[in-house]
Structure 1
């Protein structure tokens, strides 16, 4: 049994949980999305321009043609005065230039942001109107916390698979530097009452209720509304519960920086990224990071001597945007664009972190087994694993859960654990700890990175796992078959 295994806590409700989770998911399940059935990457493309036969056998393969993002910046860095719209438009500009999409009418653009001003009510459409894409390209906003970018790709992919669109862009953007600042609730009520009044006397009466202390704005805070805890505070509880050591977290963080630095030096990101506002690489990258340096940092999450999470083994607040171009195979051929890989299947899960005993960021632990079962795969049947590094402890917790016999039996309803993963196949070019994590932009970064890795390899399969606020997890399979 692994050290720090929380076996006993799993057994309190093991019977009902195991029974419930052992049953195949249904389309009405609130904890998964099995309606997102597999998109076969080997079928023909008979429905181009003709609508679609919606039977499973006739779903079109979803091609990933590539992506573009701007370098990610730390909060209050080079993008301090850039808005969500500015950054998403910049990412679309680079994508259009890379794939000759100037004036092209695409089926749709789906993107989103976690932190949005009221002016961002039609964010993605406004970004499209400011980009080289044809103004006739429809666009809409998507929101699923840190899973937004990947969820956008799933939505576009579904429409391509069903023949509803031939090509589309998925993306995401976030700025923590230009975060929305709310007015005091008391002031808001006074202003609303002022707006409701029709007479001067009524307006004066409404203003008379205003007090000096009510003018102070609310300070932005990154927390879960139902618990009052930040994501880091939630994960600190999980890290302690799973016995994730400080040393293991620091080692993981250092490796992420080293791998990302090596990928930049090798030119891997040359066709995945366009400079923006003077930044050519992710600002958070520290190529000289070391375990010795990280060991000197004080914990920022958790309490007492058991606190292990620092600013270095947690993702920093970041600004940035990413986009991915998806299409049918026929559309790619018509535009002379090579297919890097295919988006094969996806699964989204959620956990009750408020009333239950699952951690806030544990949903991918449940989503991946469902995804594997539906596709007849084992956890080891992949060449690359892209696991979003919200915190080093979250990645380590996830890996530990999948190899824990008691957890897999009593929570996942499995006779055997999913097993271990070769660490050399995980985040081979670094991930969020090194690049930064503009919440909604991470999914696009990961999809484009994985598709290129598979294209360079010539064939193979990759697994994506992204944890998200609200106790959610978004996962997907990307594949490239041998030509």
Structure 2
């Protein structure tokens, strides 16, 4: 059953609740602490995570290449942890927009950062959850006993993007190599090329299966769930305000000081964090569904450049090397939905799945870190999680999972403000969750994200004992 038609029956109920989901309070379970470790499984730990500052595309990183930022993240991780470069067994990076010259950017970054050529490295892509996939790939290798330690990371670089010749031109360029003379090449050109052949192919910004841009999907999702412009602007302002506060208080400790190669400039801050006012937020025009859409540049994540990396080990290996891990990486789930009507609802589907696997409930979670693609996407997910009707008709569940209390949700800002280099965000979410657990004296954290193609991911993280 299509989501839009189904939600039409209860959007009035959701709209009447308005932003009440943002202030919903769930009583925290103060009983004896639970454990979610597996009796016969390896404990896998997050030792440390770092990232370059996330910058708006076209700014200080504009003249770099993706592997420069990935290398910077690896070098920063080595400096932060003092990990010997021959003590890493494997390296995996996630990315979305691939630079064709460095298609396996994990390998090129590792070599550039001085890791041994004997250390295997591969690159994965899963849209906005690409570094989530890199993390779980490394976890899987540790769980299977293939390795004891690995680095997972992510990179995306929107200051540059691969722009191709048209297919017609590409066919001509391939076949003309077989021509033996100038006259033969000219003959091929006259037969194969039209004026249309000279038009470049720009990178797709739309879903391949639906031909709809993600912002358009977000606007439709907000209309379906009754999420208004004011609520979206309020959430966008919240993200920027909290990120600015966290920056000024030194809480974003995963961020490195990054020296831009070739320029010598040291970048120390994320440059997309811009706390403003509701008046300015509300003055922006619709970005996708014009003129009456509610998704704008102010309540959406922006095109970003940045890289991230984290050190993951078996607990036994980490302790043997003298490390004090930040957190256990406990369990995770990947989900997928209809990419037309449910493109951005990954967190709503992943959250109950992860909790049920671990035997936990929402009240057991102390820290929530969800990817903010759009303010409306976050609010729509919260509305879905707060609806018995949605749970029953769309998820095959008896009851709703409930919503996170906002005093536990993205308290240091999120992708709307910090930035969203597609492939790098998953590591940021995991590292921030681990850092918040320590700062806030919590036990469990849940991270979740949506991704293009109707994909989603959720992961349970547990604070390492003091």
Q: Scaled by the length of structure 2, what TM-score is found?
A: 0.88
| Equivalence map 1:339-358=2 (5 Å) | 339-354=325-340, 358=341
- What is the distance in 1 between the residues matched to 2:47 and 2:392? 39
State the SS of the aligned residue for 1:58: coil
- In the alignment, what sits opposite 2:286? 299
One of 166, 185, 197 as aligned partner of 2:167: 185
State the SS of the aligned residue for 1:377: coil
Structure 1 residues 276 and 437, CA gap change in structure 2 (3 angstroms): farther
Residues 85 and 120 in structure 1, CA contact (< 8 A), matched pair in contact too: yes
1:132: Cα distance to partner?
3.3
Structure 1 residues 226 and 419, CA gap change in structure 2 (3 angstroms): same
State the SS of the aligned residue for 1:479: strand
Structure 1 residues 328 and 418, CA gap change in structure 2 (3 angstroms): same
- In the alignment, what sits opposite 2:463? 480
1:295: Cα distance to partner?
0.9
Q: CA RMSD, aligned part only?
A: 2.2
Residues 161 and 203 in structure 2, CA contact (< 8 A), matched pair in contact too: yes
The answer as to 2:297 corresponding to 1:315 is no
Structure 1 residues 271 and 439, CA gap change in structure 2 (3 angstroms): closer
- What is the distance in 2 between the residues matched to 1:237 and 1:80? 33
1:269: Cα distance to partner?
2.3
State the SS of the aligned residue for 2:296: coil
How far does the alpha carbon of each residue in 1:329-363 deviate from its partner, in whole angstroms, 9 at most, with x for none?
12212222211111100000111224xxx321113
- What is the distance in 2 between the residues matched to 1:459 and 1:233? 37
The answer as to 2:127 corresponding to 1:154 is no
- In the alignment, what sits opposite 1:123? 105
Deviates more, 1:308-317 or 1:135-144: 135-144
- In the alignment, what sits opposite 1:385? 368
Residues 364 and 474 in structure 1, CA contact (< 8 A), matched pair in contact too: yes
One of 263, 267, 271 as aligned partner of 1:279: 267
- What is the distance in 2 between the residues matched to 1:379 and 1:182? 47
The answer as to 2:351 corresponding to 1:368 is yes
| Equivalence map 1:439-478=2 (5 Å) | 439-478=422-461
How far does the alpha carbon of each residue in 1:317-337 deviate from its partner, in whole angstroms, 9 at most, with x for none?
111111111111122122222
The answer as to 2:207 corresponding to 1:224 is yes
- In the alignment, what sits opposite 1:255? 238
1:481: Cα distance to partner?
5.3
One of 326, 333, 342 as aligned partner of 2:319: 333
The answer as to 2:198 corresponding to 1:215 is yes
Structure 2: 5+ residue runs without aligned partners?
12-33, 261-265
1:212: Cα distance to partner?
4.3
1:379: Cα distance to partner?
2.3
- What is the distance in 2 between the residues matched to 1:10 and 1:353? 21
1:83: Cα distance to partner?
1.0
Q: Scaled by the length of structure 1, what TM-score is found?
A: 0.85
- In the alignment, what sits opposite 2:87? 105
Deviates more, 1:80-89 or 1:410-419: 410-419
- What is the distance in 2 between the residues matched to 1:233 and 1:225? 14
Residues 102 and 134 in structure 1, CA contact (< 8 A), matched pair in contact too: no
How far does the alpha carbon of each residue in 1:206-256 deviate from its partner, in whole angstroms, 9 at most, with x for none?
123334442231233411112221111111111111111111111111111
Residues 128 and 452 in structure 2, CA contact (< 8 A), matched pair in contact too: yes
Structure 1 residues 270 and 236, CA gap change in structure 2 (3 angstroms): same
Structure 1: 5+ residue runs without aligned partners?
12-39, 44-55
Tell me the matched-pair count: 435
Deviates more, 1:363-372 or 1:140-149: 363-372
Residues 84 and 113 in structure 1, CA contact (< 8 A), matched pair in contact too: no
Q: Which runs of 4+ in 1 moved over 3 A?
A: 4-11, 40-43, 196-202
Residues 437 and 444 in structure 2, CA contact (< 8 A), matched pair in contact too: yes
One of 28, 37, 40 as aligned partner of 1:58: 40
- What is the distance in 1 between the residues matched to 2:72 and 2:322? 24
State the SS of the aligned residue for 2:175: helix
| Equivalence map 1:226-241=2 (5 Å) | 226-241=209-224
Deviates more, 1:227-236 or 1:267-276: 267-276
1:60: Cα distance to partner?
0.7
- What is the distance in 2 between the residues matched to 1:353 and 1:146? 14
Structure 1 residues 481 and 326, CA gap change in structure 2 (3 angstroms): closer
How far does the alpha carbon of each residue in 1:422-480 deviate from its partner, in whole angstroms, 9 at most, with x for none?
11111010000001110001001111111111123344101111100011001111012
Structure 1 residues 82 and 194, CA gap change in structure 2 (3 angstroms): same
| Equivalence map 1:42-57=2 (5 Å) | 57=39
Residues 274 and 280 in structure 1, CA contact (< 8 A), matched pair in contact too: yes
- What is the distance in 2 between the residues matched to 1:384 and 1:417? 20
